[in-house]
Amino acid sequence: MASLASPERRRRSSLPLAEVVINDNFWAPRRRTVRERALPYQEQRLRTGGQFDALKLTWKPGDPHEPHPFWESDVAKWIEASSYSLTTDPDPLLEESLDEAIALLANAQQADGYLDSYFTLVKPGCQFTDLQDAHELYVAGHLIEAGVAHHQATGKTSLLDVVIRLADLIDRETLPGGRIEGGYDGHEEIELALVKLADETGDQRYLDLGARLVDNRGKQPYYFDLERERRGDEGWADQHFPDRTRRRQRYREYSQSHMPVREQREVVGHSVRAMYLYSAMADLARELDDAELGEACEALWQDLVSHKLYVTGGIGSDGSIEGFGQAYELPDLGSYAETCASIGLVFWAHRMMLLTGEARYVDVLERALYNGVIAGASLDGTRYFYGNPLASDGGEEREEWFEVACCPPNYARLMTSLGSYMYVRDAEGLYINLYASSTARFSVNGHGFVLTQKTDYPWNGRIDVTVEADEAGAKMALRLRLPDWARGARLIVDGRPLPGEPVNGYLVIDRSWGAESLVTLDLGMEAGVVYPNSRIQATLGRVAFQRGPLVYAFEEIDNAAPVRQLVAATDAPIDSEEVVSLGVLGISLDGLMRSEQSGLYSQTPPVFRRTRLRAIPYYAWGNRGLGTMMIWLPAAHSSPLGYESGQCSRPGSVIDMMEQLGSPTIVRQ
């Protein structure tokens, strides 16, 4: 089916998933684990947990497995993730399972197109009466994404037809006279799904519906107030307790419906909902050439990256709302940072890059992907974190599954569709956004190209890219992202250094290509200290460590003590060495260990002891049993002389100084 967007207004697009083959040592094993373990496990949970059974519409009150309001979204995310997987890795048995599930979904669909077995079975008559909480459009959104992915993967229209009927129903009901006229879902999702449906079907109506839902949001009188009045379930306490009045306003912010989205300038509320909304806004800005929506997106992005982003790419520090705190409110212990929110940030960042062609969005995407997202899954791919704390007092463990099972299938669908985030094409050429050994096929100016990356990224900053054009002299602009963490990058094309400043964060090679060219990018990957803005109260006087895109974490098991006792020396040289048990590159440096103390507050100073500090990539934490973990260590304020200048004849580090002064608070080893 045809694309709606003209080349002008959709200049950039992801390479189709089928055209990208990932064959590296970092992502490929993760993707294999998702295919071989996660997807079958999820299917089994859906079969035994009641989700499949509910779709038979035979459940009666009193039966086990009472349907849950958003069970269909679990089924949909599994179908979507599986469809992406089928695109790159055909699997007839999996395809049969999808057919079975899709037949069940078709069975559960009502004559008018409605599809949500909870309301059909458990609360008939309550359909579309509580968009604030009931998640019906959210469920529809995931079904639509699944329908599009399944159609793209298999060419079958079995699910696409179902979701078209569902989208058409929602379209009718949101128009004047419809049951949810002026409405929108408390949990965004359908808006970005409708953009995909419009692209897949070429039907402008779905873009219009998506735009309508986005623009209904936050208009006064508030839709959630109107539907509450219609339901008549407002209690006396709701009216009279100030905390509940505040709660209602807080709920609006929670669901990004406190003001029209075009006026929003601050990222607030439930972080997954926010990411899905902003993703849809970025999509619509691009598809509809809507500059005002694009400006809102940019302002929201600036707020996020300037005030509310964890160093891991985690977002949403306030667990009580699964969402954003105030500006600079970024505690490490007790941080929330839901896995799904970082996945949502990947969605949004990618769309912002498509909208603008700027690499700075991908810098954040990469930060989220290599830290906040993949920390959500265990190294063996079978257990998950719902939230991803930046520090642990030893009580956190990944789990197999969750009552609200959003994270495992969300992680699965990102992993199986990872190829579509690596490469972006436009009329002039190709952007390389992510580095990993892989092959990409694409056409520019009527010429076919094959591009191959070979690299040990993220362990090594050297990336070898070979480019083959289908005939000599084929013009193509190759843009290689220069990550924000890189210092002193070198670009070599066919053996010759290529100087030049980055454009929009990309090193550009705009030339004619021939049979095979070799491009080498060396990003000079060295471990270094990260200093937090002092407005972040939680990490005041502390530092973190980063190497390439990876943020490092100190775990108790590597440091022989609760990590809250560690103090980092910011001038100490940092060594890198493989941690064989985890298959990662760890770092180590000199530092101090302070004594534990009793009581909450003491007049007696602690005692410091010299020690070797060891850290592993954050994403790999929590894979060796329970124990304390921290990213941000208190820093000994110190001179960068000594270690770095080689003037070791005089004391150069705070550790040395403290020892040489014979301080009674330092224990000599």
Residue from 616, 537, 546 nearest 312 by CA:
546
Which range binds a second copy by CB under 8 A, 217-225, 338-346, 464-472, 527-535?
527-535
Q: Which residues pair with 610 in a beta bridge?
A: 592
CB 17, CB 87: distance < 8 Å: yes
Instruction: Print the binding letters for residues 204-233 with a second copy: x by CB under 8 A, - otherwise.
Output: -----------------------------x
Which range binds a second copy by CB under 8 A, 92-100, 286-294, 320-328, 433-441?
320-328
Beta strands 391-392 and 629-630: pairing type? antiparallel
DSSP 370: I
Examine residue 443 and tell whether it contacts a second copy (CB under 8 A): no
Compute the least distance from the CB of residue 557 to a second copy, in Å. 18
Binding positions for a second copy, 539-558, rule CB under 8 A: 540-542, 544, 546
Compute the least distance from the CB of residue 663 to a second copy, in Å. 4
Compute the least distance from the CB of residue 233 to a second copy, in Å. 6
- Out of 602, 646, 668, 669, the only residue in the binding site for a second copy (CB under 8 A) is 602
Compute the least distance from the CB of residue 240 to a second copy, in Å. 6
Catalytic status, residue 648: no
**Count of residues engaged in binding a second copy, rule: CB under 8 A:** 90
Q: Give, to the nearest 10 degrees, the angle between helix 291-307 and helix 339-356.
A: 130
- Out of 2, 93, 111, 237, the only residue in the binding site for a second copy (CB under 8 A) is 237
- Out of 155, 232, 236, 668, the only residue in the binding site for a second copy (CB under 8 A) is 236
Compute the least distance from the CB of residue 117 to a second copy, in Å. 13
- Out of 333, 503, 579, 607, the only residue in the binding site for a second copy (CB under 8 A) is 333
218: left (phi over 0), alpha (psi -120 to 50) or beta: left
Examine residue 383 and tell whether it contacts a second copy (CB under 8 A): no
Binding positions for a second copy, 255-314, rule CB under 8 A: 305-307, 309, 311
Rounded to an integer, what distance in angstroms lies between the CA atom of residue 57 and that of residue 119? 11
Binding positions for a second copy, 60-99, rule CB under 8 A: 68-69
Residue from 530, 587, 189 nearest 390 by CA:
530
28 vs 321, beta carbon nearer a second copy: 321
Compute the least distance from the CB of residue 343 to a second copy, in Å. 20
Binding positions for a second copy, 460-519, rule CB under 8 A: 485, 487
Compute the least distance from the CB of residue 485 to a second copy, in Å. 7
Binding positions for a second copy, 389-428, rule CB under 8 A: 391, 393, 403-404
533 — phi, psi (to 5°)? -60, 135
Which range binds a second copy by CB under 8 A, 156-164, 171-179, 602-610, 612-620?
602-610
Compute the least distance from the CB of residue 176 to a second copy, in Å. 28
Q: Find tokens 């709920």 and name the residue.
A: 251
Compute the least distance from the CB of residue 610 to a second copy, in Å. 12
- Out of 446, 649, 664, 669, the only residue in the binding site for a second copy (CB under 8 A) is 664
278 vs 632, beta carbon nearer a second copy: 632
Q: Find tokens 């009666």 and name the residue.
A: 60
Residue by residue, DSSP assigns 211-278 as HHHHHHTTPSSPHHHHHHHHHT---HHHHH-HHHHHHHHHHHHHTT-SS-GGG--S--SBHHHHHHHH
Instruction: Print the binding letters for residues 107-146 with a second copy: x by CB under 8 A, - otherwise.
Output: -----------x----x--x---x--xx------------
Catalytic residue among 406, 407, 555, 556: 406
547 — phi, psi (to 5°)? -140, 115
284 vs 631, beta carbon nearer a second copy: 631
Q: Find tokens 């993760």 and name the residue.
A: 30
Which range binds a second copy by CB under 8 A, 3-11, 277-285, 326-334, 453-461?
326-334
Which residues are within 8 A (CB) of 270 and not within 5 positions of it... i.e. 6 or more apart?
187, 254, 255, 256, 316, 321, 322, 323
192: left (phi over 0), alpha (psi -120 to 50) or beta: alpha
DSSP 326: S
Binding positions for a second copy, 558-597, rule CB under 8 A: 562, 564-565, 567, 570, 592, 594, 596-597
Binding positions for a second copy, 630-659, rule CB under 8 A: 634-641, 650-652, 654, 657-658
Q: Which residues pair with 496 in a beta bridge?
A: 493
Which residues are within 8 A (CB) of 190 and not within 5 positions of it... i.e. 6 or more apart?
137, 138, 140, 141, 144, 170, 210, 213
Which range binds a second copy by CB under 8 A, 10-18, 51-59, 466-474, 535-543?
535-543
CB 257, CB 184: distance < 8 Å: yes
Residue 125 CB neighbour total at 10 angstroms? 6
88 vs 653, beta carbon nearer a second copy: 653
496 vs 601, beta carbon nearer a second copy: 601
Examine residue 529 and tell whether it contacts a second copy (CB under 8 A): yes
Binding positions for a second copy, 144-203, rule CB under 8 A: none
Rounded to an integer, what distance in angstroms lies between the CA atom of residue 407 and that of residue 377? 9
Catalytic residue among 19, 80, 322, 556: 322
Rounded to an integer, what distance in angstroms lies between the CA atom of residue 512 and that of residue 387? 48
CB 611, CB 593: distance < 8 Å: yes
289 — phi, psi (to 5°)? 50, 45
| Type and span of the H or E element at 559 | helix 556-559
Which residues are within 8 A (CB) of 227 and not within 5 positions of it... i.e. 6 or more apart?
129, 130, 131, 132, 183
3-state secondary structure (DSSP) of residue 566: strand
Residue from 336, 332, 333, 339 nearest 393 by CA:
333
Examine residue 603 and tell whether it contacts a second copy (CB under 8 A): yes
Catalytic status, residue 406: yes
Compute the least distance from the CB of residue 492 to a second copy, in Å. 25
Examine residue 532 and tell whether it contacts a second copy (CB under 8 A): yes
135 vs 165, beta carbon nearer a second copy: 135
- Out of 37, 531, 560, 576, the only residue in the binding site for a second copy (CB under 8 A) is 531
Examine residue 49 and tell whether it contacts a second copy (CB under 8 A): no
| Type and span of the H or E element at 480 | strand 474-481
Could you list the active site residues? Answer: 322, 406
